[in-house]
Copies of this chain bind each other. A is one copy, B any other.
Amino acid sequence: MTDTPFLTVDVARLDTNIGATAARARATDLQLRPHAKTHKCAQIAQLQLDAGAVGLTVATIGEAEAFADAALTGRRDLFIAYPLWVTEHKGARLRALADRIRLRVAIDSVDGARRLAAETADVDLEVVVEVDSGQHRTGVDPDQAGVIARTAVESGLRVVGLFTFPGHGYGPGDARRRAADNEVAAISRAADRLRDNGIDPVVRSGGSTPTIEFAGTEALTEIRPGVYPFNDAQQVELGSCDLDAVALCAVGTVVHRTGRRIVADTGSKILGADRPPWTSGFGRLLDAPDARITSLSEHHAVIDYPRDDDAIPELGARVRVVPNHVCTAVNLVDHLYAEAADGTSVRWPVIARGANS
């Protein structure tokens, strides 16, 4: 028996989640380009491609290299959805990638576009402009997208469209719906600015797991959700899914019990420490929806149960803990333990773990 803590994947639920989002994309005529930063795992990427994904999204050149190296069948088409500052060395890495696979990259500034162009002359890259739809992270105001796109084209880049990440959809109340509305408005406006500059925004990419339910099917051509194969405690608390749609959890052991409080060995070094203010704790228990992780340190998850009852696990018992944010949990381990419905388990390597640059 594997020593705790470790991350386990329920493959039946994973299949269901991948199938459901693929079906949603087909039904709404949106191309699906899943964000592979969530799983960093070739086996899961293959399931997504087999279900009809047009390619993968990644966050870094390192992730792109890992998936380019993986023995995947299907379209070898990667989008690095990040406004890279392309140094000479990063330029060389992009050129090497573009020789092997179809590659799309991002810009969100005039200077960034010129830098990219300087390092990738004579390389066939698709370029998209990142638009800020309200998260106020990277991306430009929609009205600036035309100038940046035109500069890029004048620098020799092949601009094919736009993308945005409506990350402010991660919030309470109707944040998901409002962010999806913002996404439509921002992409539509930026698309007009590209057209004003004679550039056809063929690619209009958006979406995130919490917002794709409301994704604007007229404004967008593509969605890039990441979390949906697994789901996580954040998605449960946002209302994007139910607990029984969560396909990944950390298996831990109860090492301490005092009254209605237990401590499991699933600390922040396996769950990740993400804890937005709108969440109810540092994660959830798959088998105890009312329990809450009230504090978290590196190797201790302090879990409070609301009532005295028989369901409070005893010392030495195993518990299944759902991370708040699955992307950061997966990045902490070298393998996922993929459990089939018949109880057998295989190890899936996290091939892009730590591929931050």
Contacts and interface: CB of A to CB of B under 8 A. Distances in A.
Interface stretch (A70-78, A182-190, A211-219, A292-300): A292-300
A12 interface: no
A59 B137 contact: no
Contact of A5 (B84, B90, B356): B356
Contacts of A4: 357
Interface stretch (A23-31, A151-159, A263-271): A263-271
A272 interface: yes
B137 A302 contact: yes
Interface stretch (A230-238, A240-248, A328-336): A328-336
A3 interface: yes
A327 B27 CA distance: 46
Contacts of A1: 87, 89
B256 A300 contact: no
Interface string A42-66: 0000000000000000011100000
Contacts of A325: 273
A61 B5 CA distance: 12
Interface stretch (A108-116, A171-179, A194-202): A108-116
A67 interface: no
B269 A3 contact: no
Contacts of A137: 256, 263, 295, 297, 300, 302
A321 interface: no
A167 interface: yes
B255 A3 contact: no
Nearest to A3: B357
A280 interface: no
A268 B332 CA distance: 12
Interface residues of A, number: 62
A126 interface: no
A163 interface: no
A82 interface: yes
A255 B82 contact: yes
A275 interface: yes
B37 A298 contact: yes
A3 B256 contact: no
A138 B255 CA distance: 8
Contacts of A61: 3
A280 to B, nearest CB: 15
Interface of A: 1-6, 37, 59-61, 82-85, 87, 89-90, 93, 108-109, 111-112, 115, 136-139, 167, 253-257, 261, 263, 265, 267-270, 272-275, 295, 297-300, 302, 315-316, 325, 327-328, 331-334, 354, 356-357
